[in-house]
Amino acid sequence: MSKDIKKIAQLSSDEAVCKLLENIEEEENTVFTRAESLKPCPIGSGISGVCCKNCGMGPCRVMENEEGLCGATIGTISARNLARSIAAGASAHSDHGRDMAHLLSLTAEGKAEGLKIKDEPKLFKLAKTLGISLGDKSVNEIAKETAEKAMSLFGQQTGEIDFIKLAPKKRQEIWRKYKVVPRGIDREIVEMMHRTHIGVDQEPENILNQALRTALSDGWGGSMLGTEITDILFKTPVPLAAKANLGMLKTDEVNIVIHGHEPTLSEVIAELADDKVLVDYAKEKGAKGINVVGICCTANEVLMRQGIAPIGNFLSQEMAIMTGAVELMVVDIQCIMQALGQLVKKYHTKLVTSSPKSKIPGAIHMEFQEVNAVTLAKEIIKMAIDNYQNRKHTVCIPDIRSDLVAGFSHEYIRYMLGGRFRESLRPLNDGIIDGRIQGIVAIVGCNNARLPQDKYNNFLVEEFIKRDYLIVQTGCGAISTAKCGIMTPEAMEYAGEGLRSICEAVGIPPVLHLGSCVDNSRILSIASDIVKEGGLGEDLSDLPAAGIAPEWMSEKALSIGTYFAASGIYVAFGGEPIPVESSEEVKNIMTSGWEQKFGGQLEYIPDIDELLEKVINVIQEKRKKLKIDIKKERVLMDMEARRAL
């Protein structure tokens, strides 16, 4: 069958995905073909009118100048729908954070098989932040108390969640002034659901205020706990080299793909890939070894700490199976397409679900519990090995892979800039002040089958680095950049002169991989530290920084964008449909309304050139306000001048 190469090239900017789609024998039912046959519902998506399903009298399709049966307006319904999505996104991140806290507790009690605390200094730091005295307690006692305090933040009813105090003072005051400080993580999500029930909160601005509080409980709550505890248990990332893309699957090895978001089982599977007994068993079955690779944020987690290759982001998950080379894909939670369950029926791949929260028709369920990580990991690896001889399709692995450097935790960034004894963000602040770095742009978020895979992410990264903007990335955006080969120090050749001079001096890529989507909390920590370092204003909203989710699709992305906006950062979302398109009122609240109160906003800009220009303008405006918009000449100082300083 001849393939339409041009059409395939429009689906994805990932060369490996295009090669695979060109070369596989059968045309498969994939997310790309489904996106062609199934268009977004114009009302459900909020493009023309809105759909309210919040009671049994509807669903009400409400167009301009109309109202629902209860009288709900387009503005109220738009705000409610968006707020519920933000609550769902916050719940996903925060439930993940809760599981990490539970795991820390069991590890402290010695009940988590094969796990121990790997980063004690980070545990002590978290304990102090949560108000736990260290005294002469043992590490496990501190870990147990820290885990209990962390878990209590989910059900806390009054007061403020502890991480709020890590933000600059001025930011905390703004949150208090507008009453959006999260009281407890679960509490805000529950209240959001309550307030969007029929007949409760009907004022769009008030509904969205609670959405901001809910999102803050994610970024400065559930996600932050997720990141901190994962570092404590599995170590805080430091830079490491790895490779990305489908070409990291091996023809002659047992390929195991880890996919989802929770790192625990996957960390253990990756560690066991070199286990002599298991490798010998793989050899007995005719394979040369065991190759563990990843998709989505589980991949990012294990990449950051063990250098496991991310072979793809969200839109690549079906592609991995279609190579015919994957013996087993083990999935946990979030961003796992249900279509995998059908797809594996045509291939030899075994799909294994491991979380009691996520079962998929067509998958084998092998439940992970904290007490069985090593035993279960071995069982899963053995199952993959036993499946090696069952390959039935011609193996079709695109010979495409690229180098990357990942592993930039906020602790490492402080260390790399200041050294072990003087760790500091001073050189970064100075670089921003003297204009070698024009600003910091977080390009994060998903793939979206309504857009060519990776295209807008990669476009923005290239455009920003050549204009001297330092890029920080997480999630599928980070994998996208890694796949296109500009996440290495060598990529500094594409950067502007100023950014290149910093990259050369510190030895970093112009694009820093900070981890998975819960690790967006690292960006909040770095941004707060930059403010505290001095010279760039008193609040996060003063920073020449912005966030972009060019190819977003998940509710988690909405929560992330909202907590960035609530933290004072300008945020732009790309793509269409725009979920609040029908309501000018809601769009205005999220832009000028939030800007006035919080100094940040969330704006939808489908045109990518317009989005680029807008972000540059926003950052340049901030530079002007800080009076650092005029590029200063670098002054080389002698010893005497330094002493005088």
* Site residues, ligand BF8 (CB under 6 A): 261, 296-297, 313-314, 335, 445-446, 475-476, 516-517, 554, 556-557
Q: Taking the complex as a whole, how short is the minimal distance between the CB of residue 556 and ligand BF8, in angstroms?
A: 4
| Residue 227 vs 516, nearer CB to ligand BF8 | 516
Helix (H, G, I), strand (E, B) or coil at 161: coil
- The residue (of 253 and 555) whose beta carbon lies closer to ligand BF8 is 555
Q: Shortest gap between Cβ of 194 and ligand BF8 (angstroms)?
A: 25
Task: State the Rg of the chain over Cα.
Answer: 24
C-alpha distances in angstroms, 273 versus 113, 264, 277, 374, 380? 17, 15, 10, 12, 11
Q: Which of residues 323 and 453 has its CB atom nearest to ligand BF8 in the complex? A: 453
CB 178 within 8 A of CB 209: yes
- Least distance to ligand BF8 from the beta carbon of 561, Å? 12
The type of residue at 558 is L
Report the residue number, 95 or 162, with the smaller CB distance to ligand BF8: 95
Output the smallest distance, CB 595 to ligand BF8, in A: 26
User: Using CA atoms in the order 331, 332, 333, 338, what is the torsion angle rounded to 10 degrees?
Assistant: 30
Residue among 505, 529, 492, 513 nearest 442 (CA): 513
- Residues across the chain: 645
Nearer to ligand BF8, 218 or 529 (CB): 218
C-beta of 477: minimal distance to ligand BF8 in Å?
7
- What stretches of 449-544 adopt beta strand conformation (E)? 469-474, 511-515
Under 8 Å between Cβ of 182 and 160: yes
d(CA 170, CA 313): 37
Identity of the residue, 381 or 517, whose beta carbon is nearer to ligand BF8 in the bound complex? 517
Q: Which is nearer to ligand BF8, 229 or 476 (CB)?
A: 476
| Minimum distance from residue 312 beta carbon to ligand BF8 (Å) | 10
According to the 3-state scheme, what is the secondary structure of 552-588? CCCHHHHHHHHHHHHCCCEEEECCCCCCCCCCHHHHH
Is there a contact between 226 and 234 (Cβ–Cβ < 8 Å)?
no
DSSP string spanning 118-132?
Answer: --HHHHHHHHHHTT-
The residue (of 259 and 623) whose beta carbon lies closer to ligand BF8 is 259
**Hey, what amino acid is at 297?**
C
Residue 252 is given by DSSP the state: T
Please report how close the Cβ of residue 478 comes to ligand BF8 at its closest, in angstroms.
9
**Nearest approach, Cβ of residue 298 and ligand BF8 (Å):** 8
According to DSSP, the residues that pair with 310 across neighbouring strands are: 294
- CA distances 212 to 15, 410, 446, 521, Å, are 39, 24, 21, 16
Smallest distance, ligand BF8 to C-beta of residue 85, A: 12
Name residue 217's beta-bridge partners.
Answer: none
Q: How far is the CB of 495 from ligand BF8 (least distance, A)?
A: 24
Q: How far is the CB of 539 from ligand BF8 (least distance, A)?
A: 27
3-class secondary structure, 391? coil
Asked whether the beta carbons of 562 and 602 are under 8 A apart, the reply is yes
Structure tokens at 327: 């013996």
Q: What is the helix, strand, coil percentage profile of the chain, to 5?
A: 50, 10, 35
CB of 545 to ligand BF8, least distance (A): 20
Distance of alpha carbon 164 from alpha carbon 23, whole angstroms: 52
Q: Which is nearer to ligand BF8, 218 or 411 (CB)?
A: 218
Of the pair 147, 315, the CB lying nearest ligand BF8 is at 315
Pick between residue 187 and residue 522 the one whose CB is nearest to ligand BF8: 522
Q: Provide the 3-class DSSP secondary structure of residue 491.
A: helix
Tell me whether residue 271 or residue 519 sits nearer to ligand BF8 (CB atom).
Answer: 519
Give the nearer residue to ligand BF8 in terms of CB position, either 498 or 515: 515
Of 63, 16, 57, 614, the closest CA to residue 316 belongs to 16
Min CB(405)–ligand BF8 separation in Å = 20
Distance, in Å, from the CA atom of 53 to the CA atom of 49, rounded to the nearest integer, reads 13
The distance of closest approach from Cβ of residue 447 to ligand BF8 in the complex, given in angstroms and rounded to an integer, is 6
Helices 410-418 + 426-433 axis angle, to 10: 80
Chain-centre distance for alpha carbon 238 = 18
Query: Quick one: which H or E segment has residue 455?
Result: helix 455-466
Nearest to 181 by CA among 135, 231, 217: 217
Closer CB to ligand BF8, 77 or 441, in the complex: 441
C-alpha count within 13 angstroms, C-beta hemisphere, residue 58 = 19
CB-CB neighbours of 364 under 10 Å: 15
Residue type for position 159: G
